[in-house]
Amino acid sequence: MAEESYVLIEDMAKHFAVSVSTARAWIRQGLVPALKIGAVYRFKISEVEEALRNIRGDEAVEEPVELGSQLVFDFNLDEDI
């Protein structure tokens, strides 16, 4: 079985249907694991997915809900992000 490769932030954001600025906010808030090489962040999709599922313990991330032209993930967080 081949090892999962790292992807750029643009690819990670596209995979989760969020903007790159949202992905950067996840990094700043320490919500997702990232490997920083120089000024470039890299991600393993499976690790990010696991981190997002575990934000609130055992609660899973909700499926995205379409609001107009935006996809919004409901993480059921008590605080604003």
Give me the pLDDT at residue 68, please.
Answer: 46
Closest CA to 81 of 7, 21, 4: 21
To the question of pTM greater than 0.75 for the whole model, the response is no
pLDDT in tens, the chain (81 residues): 679 999 999 999 999 999 999 999 999 999 999 999 999 999 999 999 999 888 765 454 455 544 444 444 555 545 554
Helix (H) or strand (E) holding 35: strand 35-37
